[in-house]
Amino acid sequence: MIGDKVTVHYTGWLLDGSKFDSSRDRKDKFSFDFGKGEVIKAWDIVVGTMKIGELCQIVCKPEYAYGSAGSPPKIPANATLFFEIEGRHGDRVFDKRELRFEVGEAENYDLPPGVDKTLQKMEKLEEAVVYLKPSYGFGSVGKPKFQIPPDADLQYEIKLKTFEKAKEPWEMNTQEKLEQGAIAKEKGTQYFKEGKYKRATLQYKKTVSWLEHETGLSDMEKSQSRNLRLAAHLNLAMCHLKLKEYSQVLENCNKALELDSNNEKGLFRRGEARLAVNDFELARADFQKVLQLYPSNKAAKAQLLISQQKIREQHEREKKIWNWMQDAKKRLTRKTANRTAWRKKQKLT
């Protein structure tokens, strides 16, 4: 019907066989509102006769294409065009299920992140057809379980039958926040064990966000909140270490150490992050403090030796650079002196 959203893949050639445009080359489908004059006249006529998944080839006379004006620089005036149009890329149904899951957990059900993002914007009983680029689908890995190759475009038809809205933080009382914080922490730990570090960070961040500004707690609740936040920050630091996101490692270690200034894991992981970004002196200080507090920590002993070796190497490099600069300065002084003497000699002559 006029106004319907249409999505196609297409390739266009001139009659001499030269290709002037292709959505496939761009790896990006093209969408337009049917019958609204958003495309050349031939498309508004032909696409309306096509079925989903159909592939057709059309020859467009100039009056049904770009006419006497053409479309410089690729399409000359009065050009007849040849198009190949496909109404949908692939028509194999690879997944058909009725599921119930928490938003943000789609990956656990073999669903791509694009489905998760779509669901967050849908209303109850709404139906949607979603076209996903590889970055929102199964990416460069694909999904062997569904025989989806790497870098595949996907199409999902979704119907949101019902949902239960999760409580916002301000809608929860302290006990609910403590309970949900503990649940999120456990989920994060499970993701971490599975190597899903990004997903783990989302869960640990929930724990922190629910509890970090909570006030009016009893002594027992304060202790529970502190322990949960401390564990969440330490676990976030570990996740970010795995992801090589060192600034965030430092941020979470510092927050953990605000809660427990002598925390062994907080000091050690901050030392690791500092070592990774070549802050060797600060890294050494962290590992020394770990050993001062926990003398039996073998990993800290090993990292301390590495830090000290890096500091020595850095000093050697700095010494070489200093010596080179001094030699260069002496050479320049001698050169200047020789030039001055030569000029004086020329004047005397």
Coil/strand/helix, residue 331: helix
Q: Is 156 helix (H, G, I), strand (E, B) or coil?
A: strand
**Catalytic: 280?**
no
Active site includes 95? no
Nearest to 103 by CA among 116, 118, 121, 122: 116
Determine whether 191 is an active site residue. no
Q: Strand, helix or coil at 132?
A: strand
With the CA atoms of 117, 195, 101 and 28 taken in that order, what torsion angle do they form, in degrees rounded to the nearest 10?
Answer: 30
The residue annotated as part of the active site, out of 64, 66, 246, 268, is 66
d(CA 101, CA 166): 12
Q: At what angle do helices 219-242 and 197-211 cross, to 10 degrees?
A: 150
For residue 191, the SS3 value is helix
- 20 annotated active-site: yes
* Three-state secondary structure call for residue 119: helix
Q: DSSP string covering 292-319, please?
A: HH-TT-HHHHHHHHHHHHHHHHHHHHHH
Q: Does 16 participate in catalysis according to the annotation? A: no
Query: Do the bridges between strand 81-86 and strand 30-33 make them parallel or antiparallel, or are there none, so unpaired?
Result: unpaired
- 274 contacts: CB under 8 Å, gap ≥ 6: 250, 280, 282, 283, 286
Reply yes or no on whether 116 is catalytic.
no
Cα 248 from Cα 200, distance rounded (Å): 14
Two structure tokens written together for 284: 């050494």
Furthest C-alpha separation in the chain: 103
In 3D, which of 191, 175, 166 has the Cα closest to residue 224? Answer: 175
The active-site residue out of 44, 64, 75, 83 is 83
Would you name the residues annotated as active-site residues?
10, 20-21, 40, 66, 83
